[in-house]
Chains A and B, each alone.
Chain A
Amino acid sequence: MRTVRAVGSVLFVALAGLPLAVAAQDTVRVGITYRPGVRPGLVVLPAPGLDSVQAIVARDLDYSDRFEVIPLTQPSPSDGSRGATTINYAFYRTLGAALALELLPAANGNVTGRLFDLAAERLQAEVSVPLDRTGVGDGRMTIHRLSDEIVRLGTGQWGIASTRFLFLNDGDKRIWRVDSDGAGLVPVTPAGVVVVSPAWSPDGARVAYTQFSRDGSKPIVIQTLATGTRTTLPETGGSQNITPAFAPDGRGLMFARMSDLGVSLYGANVKDLCCVERLTGGRFAENFSPAYSPDGRRVVFVSTRAGGQQIYAMAADGTDQELLVPFDFGDTGNSNAPDWSPDGATIAFHREVGGAPQIYTFDLAGRRPKQWTSSGRNEDPSWAPDGRHLVFVSNRTGRRQLFVVDTETARTRQIMTPSVARLPAWSRPIGRPQQ
């Protein structure tokens, strides 16, 4: 059970008593007007008894890149007794903050987050969620969900804390997962089985990947995360199949099959585990690395039809193929690993510049490629559900590791992993209804 109570006059009527999932579907913005590029200052007040929660939430809000999280070196002297009436608005305003977040224990194991508008000197909104206050193991995800709801209350946009990355751990060739803040690092695929190219199902419950079987074949395997059950996609057992991608409806799956005659894209029905069909023709060309548009109607992919690897698009049934990202023949470097942003507006990919891959985005409206990295090798971008953050692989610090970049501010952070990390895939929100 989650409840939201907004204190704003109109919004109180709009939101009171409604489940949050309903609120998530409308365009009502709670609180301050969100303006891209402007990050309101926010202080997270000390939360006695909720220290782990407070630390995780404060970091999540920082990683959202939607607030300037201002550290409190000393609490306001007048905050001794808690509650809206005792928030020292003037003191926090002097720190440059526009918002203050208070976290309070609530009944039934819930934690309440209260967001204060420091200029208006009033409680702006509050949210109460059940969560694991210890902040260990999977309980952390409940705290990340609180963070995401606070981001929404403050900006009208969902945060991305309650997400995970899948990646290939180069040391053991297993797929691992890690929470968005770098915690909760655990292996997903069995030991002793070499796999590549992890792909999330849209609901975050399953992962598809290519398995290197001992007979030399490469089946597409679909693994249910909760149970560990692994199912080979029918008709992929005796052949060379790579780069799986789930359709947004979770029913379809596209992948590339390699044969003596080239590499073609195939579609399959993963709900009924059937109906593998070839979608691209053409002998002696390679088409691979598909990624669906958020509406599931189109697919972006890599093709070598013009020589090197470049970014193309087609309808999900294989028709209406087109070059998507322009290139100068013989001049532009190979372009690979496209991913379609969840808002549908932008394609991320990597392109070789002077022999090293760099992260690019291609805005479908403006139709211009934009380069985001330049130091070292930077490759295999994957979009966050907010459509503005990308996770990618970089060797800028030596060995290959995961990095996250915010494409509005260019702020970049590293996800620490014990071994070389490759081929990351960013999940949709874990445990939240699809937006």
Chain B
Amino acid sequence: MRRRHGVLPLALLALIAMACGKKDPVVAPPTDTGPSTPSGGGATPPPAPPPATPGGGTSEAAVRAALLADLANVIHFDYDQDAIKPEDRPILDRKADIMRANSALRIRISGHADERGSDEYNLVLGNKRAISAKQYLVNKGIDGSRIDVTSLGEERPVDPASTESAWAQNRRAEFEITAGGERLVAPR
């Protein structure tokens, strides 16, 4: 299975777009085509790029990269819990706003667990986390049929170490565009 088309490229894209600014507009390649699964590495998203450049128009590529980065932003969970943490609510609120502004957009949420629970229960736990995130978006008015969920259990850690900080990074839900990501408009 290929592992390099998930969150990390989105984050890199945002960084590239920021680095390039308006002087060298980047045509963002679609990142939502072809087989892919969420990969680790998206735990620390880059800051949103500046919305506009003085004296010129908004860089479309930068806006797009920012939207993609917001959509890809990872949320985290407490040990053996699937409740959305208060600090992650703005991340999900932003995704809901983007999905509301882009009605063709469909996403897949993948839930992950740290290595400590039972291997097979961790598949269940990952699923619960993905469903918890989906339910949050549905409660914000997003049609549930636009959101697929899957679980990767403990099979795809961001950090394979057996430490508290690694486990905290690995207990997460990742977000991937499955359709409608070719053209994105920013929510008002």
* A residues neighboring B (CB under 8 Å): 173, 192-194, 196-197, 210, 212, 214-218, 240, 242-243, 256, 258, 260, 263, 286, 288-289, 302, 304, 309, 334, 336-337, 350, 355, 357, 379-380, 422-423
Contacts and interface: CB of A to CB of B under 8 A. Distances in A.
B152 interface: yes
A337 B120 contact: yes
Contact of B37 (A212, A309, A379, A423): A212
A258 B127 contact: yes
13 contacts: A194-B1, A196-B119, A196-B123, A196-B155, A214-B36, A214-B37, A216-B148, A242-B120, A243-B120, A258-B123, A258-B151, A336-B118, A350-B118
Interface in B132-164: 134-135, 144, 148-153, 155
Contacts of A173: 1, 155
Contacts of B124: 242, 256, 258, 263, 286, 288, 304
A173 B156 CA distance: 10
B120 A197 contact: yes
B118 A192 contact: no
Contacts of B153: 196
B113 to A, nearest CB: 13
B123 A302 contact: no
A334 B134 contact: no
Interface of B: 1, 35-37, 108, 110, 116-121, 123-124, 127-128, 131, 134-135, 144, 148-153, 155
A242 B151 CA distance: 10
A379 B36 CA distance: 31
Given A212-B1, A218-B150, A422 B121 contact: no
A214 B36 CA distance: 6
A51 B1 CA distance: 44
A309 B121 contact: yes
Nearest to B116: A355
Given A173-B155, A196-B153, 12 more contacts: A196-B119, A214-B35, A216-B108, A216-B110, A216-B150, A240-B149, A258-B127, A260-B144, A288-B120, A304-B124, A309-B118, A334-B118
A201 B118 CA distance: 23
B161 to A, nearest CB: 12
Contacts of B120: 196-197, 242-243, 288-289, 302, 336-337, 423
Most buried by A among B108, B123, B150, B155: B123
B155 A212 contact: yes
Contact of B119 (A193, A263, A355, A379): A379
A193 B1 contact: yes
Which 5 pairs show the lowest CB-CB distances between chains A and B? A214-B35, A216-B150, A336-B118, A258-B127, A242-B123
B35 A423 contact: no
Given A192-B1, A214-B35, A258-B127, A380 B119 contact: yes
B121 A334 contact: yes
A36 B35 CA distance: 56
B153 to A, nearest CB: 7
